[in-house]
Every structure is written in C-alpha cells, then in structure tokens.
Amino acid sequence: MTETRTTDETPAFDPVHAADIQQAQARISAVIAPTPLQYCPRLSEAVGAQVFLKREDLQDVRSYKIRGAYNAVSQLSPEDRSAGIVAASAGNHAQGVAYACKALGIRGKIFVPVQTPKQKRDRIRVHGGDAVELVVTGNNFDEAADAARADAAERGAVVVEPFAARDTVIGQGTVAAEILSQLSAQGKTLDTIYVPVGGAGLLAGVTSYLADMSPRTGVVAVEPSGAASLTAALAAGHPVTLEAVDPFVDGAAVKRIGDINFGIVERNLSRVHVTDVSEGAVCTEMLDLYQNEGIIAEPAGALSVAALKTVDVAPGATVVCIISGGNNDVLRYNEVMERSLVHRGLRHYFLVNFPQEPGQLRHFLNEILGPDDDITRFEYLKRNNRDTGAALVGLELGRASDLEGLLERMDESPIDCRQLHPGTPEYSFLI
C-alpha cells in the first residue's frame, strides 16, 4: 500500500506569519474576489459597538473554505497533480476543492458524511463537474476523513486537508488580511473579531495574521456546544477526540481539532477567548439574520453572531463577526425554527393522560392552557378498555415566562401531564 501524501510537508508546528498569508493572498486573488465587510445597525445597537459582518457566504462556493483549498491545490507539483486529489469534508471544503479541481484541470475524489445536506452535495457536483467524483460515507466528518485517507493511501493520491494543514491555514488567514485592509480604508482599527471554530483552520489563520499585524485585537473563538473540540483540547493540553458530536452545525461538527491549529492557538492564548453557543442559539440567530439582514447563513455561518451577546464588548469598539458560510438547505428550516423556539423557551412538549370521560379535552383547553398558548402538535391514541388515553401535545407559548403558570395549572388539574425535557431519550424522537 502506498504511503498517503498530503499537501503539507511542513513540520506540524511551523509558525504561520503574515508574510505567508500575504503571499497566499496574491496567489489566490486572480480567482477569489474580496468579500464585503458589511456594517450591521441591528447588532451594533444591541451590543453598543460598531459591528461589521464579513460576508464569506458571498464567495462563489458560499464559504471561506475556497481560500485554503485553492491555496493548497494551486501549489501542487506536476507529479502530485497527475496523482489526483482526495479530500474529506462536511461540505464546504469539498466545494472549494471541487472548484479548484475544475479550474486547474485536476482529478479529484471527495468524501462527505451521510449527514451532509443535499444542497451541499449538489453544489459539490456543480463546482467540480466531470473533474470530481463524490463519495458519501460515514456518520460524521471523522469517519469520512478516515475513508478518504485510506483511499489516498491505496491509490497514491494527494490528500488536501480541510483544516489540519499549513497551506490550508495560510489560505484561510487571507480573511483577516482583507478585514484589516477594509477597516483601514474606513479609518478604523479592529478591536475584536468573532471566529467560528470547527477544526480551527480559520481560527489559526486569522490569529496568525493578527498576531503580526494587529496584536492588540482580541479574538473570540466560537464553537457549537455539541462539538466543542477546542475547549476539550485546551482542558487536556493537547488535541483529544470527542466521543460524540451533535451533527446539526455540520460545518463545525468536528470531533478533533487539528494538531497544527491547536499549536497556533495555544501559542496565542493571551489574545484568544474561547466560548461556545448552543445549537438552539445558532438557530435563533440564523432566523434573525435572514429576517433582518436578508442573510442566508448556514448553522456554522451564524456561530460568530450567536456569541456576540454572550461576551462583553467595550462600548464603541469595532467588532467583526465572520459569516463563514451560506450553504443552508431550505428543507432544514423547519428544524431550525423548532430548535429556535425550544431555545427561547416558547416550544414545549407534554405527555397527557386524558381520562376516558366526556369533556376532558375541553377542560384541558379551557382550564389548563393560557390565553396565548397554542397547540402545535396533538397525537392521541385512544385505547379501549382503559381508563385513560395518552396524547403527545406540543405547545407554543406567547411568552417564555408563561411556562410557570402553565405548569402550576397542570399540577392542580386532575389530568395527568408530564413534561418532556430536551436531552432525554423520548425527547430525541421529537426533534
């Protein structure tokens, strides 16, 4: 079996500097145009600062991942190009690699996990065309990555890593170079930047550039609570593999942070603050971005903004949130809405045992529900020869504070009502 080759021959912890990123910027500028830095009045007013959104969702592949992918692929030797490319991705890196393969005339084979949204799979095929073969395998990114590396080893192909490679990190760092240039043109300096984190390729690139060019800028690294691999690595002092991750924030659902990325973050901990936000908070911000700014952000793309109100911002500071991607399948919005309502305390579920007597449903509606409560789900199973019939009832409250009164009325009622709580096995069947 041939040894797997990668696009990164550099020692794992070789530092990345601004000069490396500036060279990458020149290398990719012919095919990758700068994305807008958009002032956001709503968020600025909410936190008392000047908040700008770096719109990486407006890239040709709708994500910043094209930067690192193109930077890595464009530097391959003729021999490596002829050997072909293999990549694993949750979807966005794959689109960047597919784009590079088609543009540079290189054959590619891309592995994505089964939870990758159909929208992302379709876009991979569009960007890669006949140059790319798509393989769907594994229950998460890490399983797809194992399959990709095994295939590359067998065929002698080149692995283009999605985050754990120096050339990829350098390419992602061009986001920070653009931001500083765009702010400078407005006579502003960057005080704080919020960066979404999965494998931490973007975080490593941004932090490396700012360390040289804007060392007083604070960096907030934002992970999804269900896949906090950076937090786990910092606690252990080295990268560790999480036992399980919540796949909902698919662009950041990574079990293990990259080694080189962790090394860069660890050396810059004095300027990096790590936090996490719940998947429900991400959903709420996805909806707010769409309804207020008209931005279609994928879950990972809304991570940075979801953390904005959880970390103190100095009054009047210049803040940038990176909207890392916009590859969101419209079919997911029912789940997005559901998770957001649960997060805001507006959606609740109950198992209700109705006595098999006339008028019990009327009693539930008139005596238990509040005036602003709405039934959103009702599944009733009437069983003959039993004294009670069970129903699954979903309720949407007018205000989160209405829950206390609802529970009190349920306790006082002769009807047996049991609330289902997030995180329990029975609740997992609902969402």
Question: Which positions are catalytic?
Answer: 65, 324
Name the helix (H) or strand (E) containing 149: helix 141-155
374 phi, psi to nearest 5 deg: -130, 135
Q: Where are the beta strands (DSSP E) in 108-163?
A: 108-112, 132-136, 158-159
Residue 130 · residue 106 · CB < 8 Å = no
Reading the block at residue 195, the tokens are 């960066």
Cα 355 from chain centre:
46
Rg (C-alpha) for the chain, rounded Å, is 24
From residue 224, give the alpha-carbon distance in Å to each of 118, 229, 334. Answer: 22, 9, 20
Burial environment of residue 141 by CB neighbours within 10 A (0 to 12, 13 to 18, 19 or more): buried
Residue 207 · residue 272 · CB < 8 Å = yes
Report the greatest alpha carbon distance in the chain. 80
